[in-house]
Amino acid sequence: MVIASIDIQNGKVVQLKQGSQLMLEREDAAELAAEFDKYGEVAVIDLDAAMKTGSNDELVKSLLRRADCRVGGGIATVERAAELVSLGAKKVIIGSKAFRTSGDSFGINTAFLEALAKKIGRERVIVAVDARDGEIVVDGWKTPTGLPLIESAKALEPYVGELLYTCVEREGTMTGTNLDSIRSLREAVSCLVTVAGGVSTLEEIEAIARLGCDVQLGMALYTGKINLADAFIASLSWNQAWQEGKLLPVVAQAPDGQVLMLGYTDREALAETFKRGNLCFHSRSRNKLWMKGESSGNTLKLIRLRADCDRDTILATVEPTGPTCHTGNWTCFTDQRYTWELLQNIVTERFRNPKPGSYTATLDDERVREKVMEEAEEVCTAKTHDEIIWEVADLLYFTTVLMTRAGVSVVEVMAELDRRHKK
C-alpha cells in the first residue's frame, strides 16, 4: 500500500526537511485528502500538536470525514487516541509517548501501550519508530533516547498492529532510503511495517514492496518527483501475479459493499483507470485493454482502490452508472440488493424526475416531518412482530425522505454510527 502524508502546521499543509526547514506550504488539505484517498489510507500529522505549539483539531476532524486516515501528532493519552478513533481515524500514530517511561527516562512505555491496545485494539495502534543511525529519537527528532531500533521494534510488537519507520537522516532529502535497515526491521518483526524518509524513485517503492513493507510518501509526492498513481502500481506484487507475472485480479464493489464483478488488470489498465477515472481491465480473451462500459455506457466510476494484505488482489470501490453484467443484471453474481442506500437513491430520483402519481414527490418539508412523528408513534404502539416490521419500514422510508431533502446521506449516518460504536 502507498500512503500519502498530509502534514499540517498553522492550518496549512507543509513539508519540512529534517523536521524543521519549511520546504513548501499549501492550503488545499481537503482536496488533497479526497484525491489521496483513491490510492490508500492518508497519514494526517498535526505538527503543531506534536511540537506542543498548538492544534489543528478542527481541520483534522474535517479530513476524517473525507478520507480513510491514520492520524498522528501529540497523541499522549489513551483518551485522545480513543477520541480520534471515534471521530473516524482508521489508526492512530504514537510517537514520543511510546518511549518515555517517566520524566527524562527512556524505554518502552508498556503501561501506556497496553492500556491503549486494550481500549482501541492493537490493530489500530501504530508506533512511529523514528531512528537516526539506528537509534530511536523523539521530541520531533531532537532527543536521542539511546534505544536501538531493532530491539525496540521487537519489544513494541505485542502492543501494536504496525510500525512506522522513518529513516530520519534521509527524511525530506529525496536522496533514497536505507534498504538495509528496512530489511533488518522487516526480518525482526511480523507486524505491518510502513517506511518513510528519503523514498524518491519507483524502483525504491518496488524494492520496499518486495520486502513486504508499505511506503509513506511526502516530499517526493509534493514536488512531483513521484506520481501517486505510478507509486500505487509499483507497490503491488506483480512478481506474484497470475499468468507469468502480468495480471492481478480486481474485485469491483458498489459503495454499499455489493460485489459487482471480477476482472483482471495489468500495469497499463491500472494507469488508464487513474487517467480516465473509470475502471479499466485487461481482457484475457482478447488480450487487450478495455474500459468497462466502453460500448454499453455502463461504466464504473472510480471511488478508491485498495490492495489486499499480500498486494496481489485489488478491491475497487466504484459508482456504477447502470447494470454491470453484460446480461443486463445489476451484478455478475446476482440482482441488486435492496439496501438503505438504494432506497435513498430511489427517493432522490423521485425528487429529480417526478413520475406521475409519485407520492414521494409530493412530500414537502412540513409534511414529511409530520409523517416522521406520526410513524414514530406508531412504531411505539405496535404490538406484534409483523406490526413492528410494517411500522419501522414506514418510519425508515419517511426518515430517508427527510434526510434526502436536508442533503444528508445514508453514508454520513452510517459513519456516525460507526464512530459511536468505536467510542
Cβ atoms of 332 and 325 within 8 Å: the answer is yes
Q: What is the mean pLDDT of the chain?
A: 92
d(CA 372, CA 400): 10
172 has a pLDDT exceeding 70: no
Helix axes 340-352, 385-405, angle to 10 degrees: 50
State the DSSP code for 9.
E
- According to the model, what pLDDT value does residue 263 have? 96
At 244, is the pLDDT very low, low, confident or very high (cuts 50, 70, 90)? low
- Write down the CATH number for the domain with range 340-422: 1.10.287.1080
- According to the model, what pLDDT value does residue 101 have? 79
pLDDT digits (tens, 9 = 90+) for 179-221: 999 999 999 999 999 999 888 899 999 999 999 999 999 888 9
- According to the model, what pLDDT value does residue 241 have? 59
Average pLDDT over residues 355-363: 91
175 has a pLDDT exceeding 80: no
pLDDT digits (tens, 9 = 90+) for 77-101: 999 999 999 999 999 999 999 998 7
d(CA 112, CA 317): 37
- CATH class of the 248-320 domain in this structure: alpha beta
229 has a pLDDT exceeding 80: yes
d(CA 418, CA 18): 37
Residue owning grid cell 501528532: 73
C-alpha cell at 293: 462500459
Average pLDDT over residues 238-253: 80
Judging by beta carbons within 10 Å of its beta carbon (0-12, 13-18, 19+), is residue 102 exposed, middle or buried? exposed
Q: Could you report how far apart the first and last alpha carbons of the chain are, in Å?
A: 27
What distances in angstroms separate CA 265 from CA 201, 246, 268, 321, 371, one per listed residue? 23, 8, 8, 21, 49
416 has a pLDDT exceeding 90: no
Beta bridge partners of 162: 126, 192
Geometric angle at alpha carbon 239, from 237 and 240, rounded to 5°: 70
Instruction: Look at 337 and 403; give whichever has higher pLDDT.
Output: 403
170 has a pLDDT exceeding 80: no
For the chain, the structural domain boundaries read 2-235, 248-320, 340-422
**Catalytic residue, candidates 46, 130, 214, 266:** 130
Average pLDDT over residues 170-185: 83
C-alpha cell at 255: 459503495
- What stretches of 210-287 adopt beta strand conformation (E)? 214-217, 248-253, 259-265, 280-283
Instruction: Look at 90 and 170; give whichever has higher pLDDT.
Output: 90
- According to the model, what pLDDT value does residue 197 have? 84
Checking phi first, is residue 328 left (phi over 0); if not, alpha (psi -120 to 50) or beta? left
- According to the model, what pLDDT value does residue 19 have? 67
Least Cα distance to 179 among 157, 205, 160, 159 occurs for 205
Strand-strand pairing, 69-72 and 105-106: unpaired
167 has a pLDDT exceeding 90: no
Range 2-235: architecture per CATH: Alpha-Beta Barrel (3.20)
Residue 3, SS3 per DSSP: strand
AA identity, residue 257: G
pLDDT digits (tens, 9 = 90+) for 301-313: 999 999 999 999 9
117 has a pLDDT exceeding 60: yes
**Catalytic residue, candidates 7, 37, 46, 214:** 7
- According to the model, what pLDDT value does residue 245 have? 58
130 is catalytic: yes
254 has a pLDDT exceeding 80: yes
Residue 136, SS3 per DSSP: strand
pLDDT digits (tens, 9 = 90+) for 14-27: 887 766 677 788 88
% of the chain with per-residue pLDDT over 70:
97
% of the chain with per-residue pLDDT over 90:
76
Cβ atoms of 379 and 373 within 8 Å: the answer is no
d(CA 346, CA 163): 45
